Amino acid sequence: MKFEDYVYKRPNMETLKKDFTEALNRFNEADSVETKEKAIDTINALRLNFNTMATLANIRHTIDTNDSYYDEEKQFFNENSPLFTQLNNMFYKALTNTSYREELEARKGALLFKEAELSLKTFHPDIIPDLQEENRLANDFQKLLASAEIDFEGETRNLSQMGPFAQSKDREMRKKASRATTNYLKENEKTLDDIYDKLIKVRTKIASTLGYENFVQLAYDRWGRMDYGPKEVANYRDQVHQTIVPLNEELTKRKQKRLKLDTIYHYDLSLDFESGNPAPKGKKDWLVNHASTMYKEMSPETDEFFTFMRERNLLDLEAKKGKAGGGYCTFLPDYDSPFIFSNFNGTKGDVDVLTHEAGHAFQMYMSRHHEVPEYLSATQDIMEIHSMSMEFFAWPWVNLFFEEDTEKYKFSHLSQALMLIAYGVLIDEFQHRVYEEPTLSIQDRKNVWRDLEKKYFPYKVYDDNDYLERGNSWQTIMHLYVVPFYMIDYTLAQVCAFQYWIRSKHDKKEAWDSYVTLCKAGGSDTFLGLLDLANLKNPFKDGTLNKVIPDIKAYTDSVDDQAL
């Protein structure tokens, strides 16, 4: 069955509520663990079907945001997902209070009950209108950016299609592209400010209603973080500032020398080499064919997985008018199918999608056997390990995509991974500040962003671009609007992916077996529990970054980047 034939049917909320309540009553009234387990299985089937329909509607909406039918369906789920959460929490409450808890933990795993307890803290029926408003505002942001029409070089382009111009070898072209993009954003600056301001206010209100001091801990609980909190993350950010930022500054000086520039401005940072950034040597079908070769040779598991994805048309990769920006991977439980969404634009990012998002999809494919919905996927801090590590496991095959530019790609890939860590902790610290001080004015928030930008990117220089100099470069960051406090997960995962890169150089089979074990485990343990399972060092622990930096620096020092 191909993706276009996957059947979408809007859930009937009254029927769902009736069926859910009946199964829940059977659970509560059952006098044996077997009967209770059957009721759980019925409830899980209802939960998985609702999630499948919500995901299917979202995929088809993002593929074409101008499709009025799926726009309405997206609105339906924005309105009704909080109501479904209410049903889900009724189940969680019954689960945590049952007298058969010990027996059910032995059958379903103790983590399910811990996750249920944490989830109960994050919801109350009183916040349903505010959750609906939060969903609406996040959707407004996505629609605004998806609707971008920028007249540039004789064509009307969206934000994704501006990407190649930002990496042009022609400096004037890079500057023009930056101006064109920021002019569009400047025209919408007040709207973007207003959306974010309202999001901060409604999230703060939700946190207050639930009894939290502010939104920060609520966000951590929403993400299911049981092993660490803001204190551990703050210490980790300090380590990044001490170890990664100086290395990034050194690599930027090398880039400035490569590009033969007296001053390296913000619009120069997207270009890595004077001769041009590494770019794939073909378009979508060519790339997908080479990806098939890569995954066939990588392992039997990846060959089976990628064949499944291609045969079922579970990849929508090309940028087009009306398509939402960015890229993602998601999962359709009723069809046991991952799905990859992207906007190919001819840059190396196209290959990154075929490794990064495919890493997510591979994990989902490998852990689809879990019967408990909570175990199908791990928390995001673990899930990003799957994706970022796959990027490095792909290194032996990247020559298929980049040919003579293979070394360029590897050097860029590693350098940008380091930059991502600094970028992620910048975003994370910004979020902590604005939610810990929700009464900050809009301009005060921008000042906070600009100060933090100088802390983590001390070498970043804006020319006379007033919009960026005033602290607005965060306004296109989807994670701030839609998935707050997610960005730190990328950085934690990157540290773990570096460990797999180092381990694979010494014992490729051991590293790969560990990775597959991690993928199969899905979300069946906590962050630190899964790190232990995979024998990965804890990024929060003092000294972990100092242990991975030497190998990274040895590699970057070994590359004659001036010759690339």
**DSSP of 218-230, one letter per residue?**
HHHHHTT--S--H
CA dihedral angle for residue 180, residue 186, residue 188, residue 189, rounded to 10 degrees: 150
Measure the CA–CA gap between 332 and 323, rounded to whole angstroms: 20
Task: Give Cα separations from 459 to 262, 453, 463 (angstroms).
Answer: 13, 10, 13
Q: Give the N- to C-terminal CA distance of the chain in Å, as an integer.
A: 46
Measure the CA–CA gap between 168 and 517, rounded to whole angstroms: 41
Task: Burial-class residue 9 by CB neighbours within 10 Å (0-12, 13-18, 19+).
Answer: exposed
**DSSP of 446-472, one letter per residue?**
HHHHHHHHHHH-TT-B--S-HHHHTT-
Residues 237, 238, 239, 241, CA torsion sign: positive
Task: Please give the model's pTM, rounded to 2 decimal places.
Answer: 0.91
Q: What are phi and psi of 259, to 5 degrees?
A: -85, -5
Measure the CA–CA gap between 68 and 296, rounded to whole angstroms: 40
- Rg (C-alpha) for the chain, rounded Å, is 24
Task: Give Cα separations from 269 to 21, 241, 366, 476, 477 (angstroms).
Answer: 55, 19, 37, 17, 17
Q: pLDDT tens string for the chain (564 positions)?
A: 999 999 999 999 999 999 999 999 999 999 999 999 999 999 999 999 999 999 999 999 999 999 999 999 999 999 999 999 999 999 999 999 999 999 999 999 999 999 999 999 999 999 999 999 999 999 999 989 988 999 999 999 988 889 889 999 999 999 999 999 999 999 999 999 999 999 999 999 999 999 999 999 999 999 999 999 999 999 999 999 999 999 999 999 999 999 999 999 999 999 999 999 999 999 999 999 999 999 999 999 999 999 999 999 999 999 888 898 888 999 999 999 999 999 998 988 899 999 999 999 999 999 999 999 999 999 999 999 999 999 999 999 999 999 999 999 999 999 999 999 999 999 999 999 999 999 999 999 999 999 999 999 999 999 889 999 999 999 999 999 999 999 999 999 999 999 999 999 999 999 999 999 999 999 999 999 999 999 999 999 999 999 999 999 999 999 999 999
Beta strand spans in 98-149 (E): none
Measure the CA–CA gap between 564 and 405, rounded to whole angstroms: 8
